[in-house]
Chains A and B, each alone.
With several copies, the nearest count.
Chain A
Amino acid sequence: MSAARACKAVLRRDLLLGLRHRAELANPLVFYVIVASLFPFAVGSDTPTLAIIGPSVIWVCALLAATLSLDRIFHADFDDGTLEQLILARQPLVLLVGAKTLAHWLLCGVPLVPAALALAVLYQLPATALWPMLSTLLLGTPVFSLTGTALAALTVGLSGSGVLLALLILPLYIPVLIFSVAAVGNAMNGLSIAGELYFLSALLVLALTVMPFAAAAALRIRLG
């Protein structure tokens, strides 16, 4: 089907552009690691304190790294006019936007998972925290990408959109943050994390069904 092929083309192009800037690809990751290592600097090497704030820092930083990388979803495409071409493509815009979201997740969301696990080790979190960390990240990062795409579409072409975007998006990310950190905390205390995981899954399903449409609508509005 030609729609599927167009989506694949968008996905491939975005991945290619991402890989072509190898530096850019690694950057959110390195940024993530740097920011996360700023805290021990500031807090001092007091292990119990570090273990307490560990999950929060790891999650807040993941959230920041995700937020920072949002700017590039549409910004470049807007500047060089390819976004207009995308809108004028012969395929439903929702699908194309979905492909862009997927590319963003693969480039910016997935790499956060191993990085977060590595940091968990550095922060000396107990082994019981690793699995909840992994599962919440795998559920939470796609929500970040999906929500982020919609808001990035809404702010595309506005000057200073980077920070404006961060401003709009952070409140939306907070539920994911709270439940994820709660899950990790529960696991460290030996409690069940099923409730949190259900909630995160529900958020993911919601984001999956709503956000691409919101993003497509936002793009049409911004360029109209």
Chain B
Amino acid sequence: MNTPSISSAAPRLEMRAVQCIRGASLLFDNLNCDLQSGETLQIRGPNGSGKSTLLRILAGLAQPDTGAVLWCGNDVRELGPEFSAVLHYVGHHNGIKLDLTARENLAFCQELLGNVDAEALNSALERVGLTASAGNRARRLSAGQRRRLALARLILCHAPLWLLDEPLTSLDNEGRALFKELMQRHTAASGIVVLATHEADIGANGPQRELRLK
């Protein structure tokens, strides 16, 4: 609120010499990267190379051992909740309540994010193909349907930075196509996408960069 710049300025995510140590082993060291609006960064690497850990660090859910993550030039540790406001994070876990219906889950997200809009909710459900199951408790949804519900958060309201950990898990072909389209639109609208995935082709349309771990 006191630095309105960061929500209005052009999105820009930087890693500066980010290092992470887990247990006795160095996961990664001296990671540097400068992502501008419209860019897609795909984090790749074999299992256990630290992709998920890096994403959590970028989201501010974990701290790097040395180095820093900057958003529009500000250290995200200092930005705090302000930084949370500019990102969507979808991790290995879906982050949905199994005892609420699909619709209730999304409505809650909206309220949490601060913009209630029934129309946006309906169109998000429609987009991810859950209109028919919107009234079902999430517990009854299949693995792929739950993942779709988690991804529906992305289109509920705008956030310039998307951090996605294996977003395509459990999705069928139609779901993958849908998701790729969402991503393309987001980068076309000058957003930034960082995702970890083992897919060969993620079909980004803007400038696409790769970060290989290990």
A touches B in complex, CB < 8 A = yes
Task: Give chain A's interface residues, CB within 8 Å of chain B.
Answer: 2, 5-6, 8-10, 13, 16-17, 20-21, 76, 79-82, 84-93, 96, 159, 223-224
Q: Which of A17, A84, A85 has the most CB of B within 10 A?
A: A85
List B contacts of A6 (CB < 8 A). Answer: 111-112, 114
Shortest Cβ-Cβ A-B pairs, 9 listed: A81-B93, A9-B111, A81-B95, A2-B114, A90-B85, A89-B112, A85-B95, A88-B84, A13-B108
List A contacts of B108 (CB < 8 A). Answer: 9, 13
- Chain B, Cβ-Cβ closest to A86: B112
Selected contact of A223 from candidates B61, B84, B104, B112, CB within 8 Å: B61
List A contacts of B100 (CB < 8 A). Answer: 13, 16-17, 20
Q: Are B84 and A87 touching (Cβ within 8 A)?
A: yes
Interchain nearest-CB distance for A215 vs B (Å): 16
Selected contact of B96 from candidates A17, A80, A96, CB within 8 Å: A80
> What DSSP secondary structure best describes chain B's contact surface?
loop
> What DSSP secondary structure best describes chain A's contact surface?
helix
Selected contact of A21 from candidates B81, B93, B99, B104, CB within 8 Å: B99
Interchain nearest-CB distance for A163 vs B (Å): 15
Q: Count A/B pairs, Cβ under 8 Å.
A: 82
- Chain A, Cβ-Cβ closest to B86: A90
Q: Are B93 and A80 touching (Cβ within 8 A)?
A: yes
Alpha-carbon gap, A88 to B59, bound state (A): 8
Alpha-carbon gap, A90 to B91, bound state (A): 18
Query: Mind listing 7 A-B residue pairs with CB under 8 Å?
Result: A80-B98, A84-B89, A85-B109, A88-B61, A88-B87, A90-B81, A224-B62
User: Given A9-B108, A13-B97, A80-B96: A88 and B89 within 8 A (CB)?
Assistant: yes
Interchain nearest-CB distance for A107 vs B (Å): 14
Alpha-carbon gap, A89 to B59, bound state (A): 12
Apart from A20-B99, A82-B97, A85-B89: 8 A-B pairs, beta carbons within 8 A: A9-B111, A17-B97, A21-B99, A80-B95, A80-B98, A88-B84, A89-B81, A93-B81
List A contacts of B96 (CB < 8 A). Answer: 80-82
Alpha-carbon gap, A2 to B157, bound state (A): 14
Q: Are B91 and A84 touching (Cβ within 8 A)?
A: yes
List B contacts of A79 (CB < 8 A). Answer: 93
- Chain A, Cβ-Cβ closest to B157: A90
Selected contact of A84 from candidates B81, B93, B111, B114, CB within 8 Å: B93
List B contacts of A224 (CB < 8 A). Answer: 61-63
B94, CB-defined interface residue at 8 Å: yes
List B contacts of A8 (CB < 8 A). Answer: 111
Selected contact of A91 from candidates B94, B109, B112, B116, CB within 8 Å: B112
List B contacts of A16 (CB < 8 A). Answer: 100, 104
- Chain A, Cβ-Cβ closest to B139: A159
List B contacts of A9 (CB < 8 A). Answer: 108, 111-112
Q: Are A5 and B114 touching (Cβ within 8 A)?
A: yes
Q: In residues 88-131 of chain B, which contact A (Cβ within 8 Å)?
A: 89, 91-100, 104, 108-109, 111-114, 116
Alpha-carbon gap, A21 to B97, bound state (A): 13
Interchain nearest-CB distance for B107 vs A (Å): 8
Alpha-carbon gap, A223 to B91, bound state (A): 13
- Chain B, Cβ-Cβ closest to A2: B114
Interchain nearest-CB distance for A16 vs B (Å): 7
- Chain B, Cβ-Cβ closest to A21: B99
List A contacts of B87 (CB < 8 A). Answer: 88
List B contacts of A20 (CB < 8 A). Answer: 99-100
List A contacts of B84 (CB < 8 A). Answer: 87-90
Interchain nearest-CB distance for A98 vs B (Å): 14
User: Given A84-B95, A85-B95, A223-B61: A91 and B114 within 8 A (CB)?
Assistant: yes
List B contacts of A88 (CB < 8 A). Answer: 59-61, 84, 87, 89
Interchain nearest-CB distance for A46 vs B (Å): 45
- Chain A, Cβ-Cβ closest to B113: A90
Q: Are B114 and A87 touching (Cβ within 8 A)?
A: no
Q: Which of B89, B96, B97, B98 has the most CB of A within 10 A?
A: B97
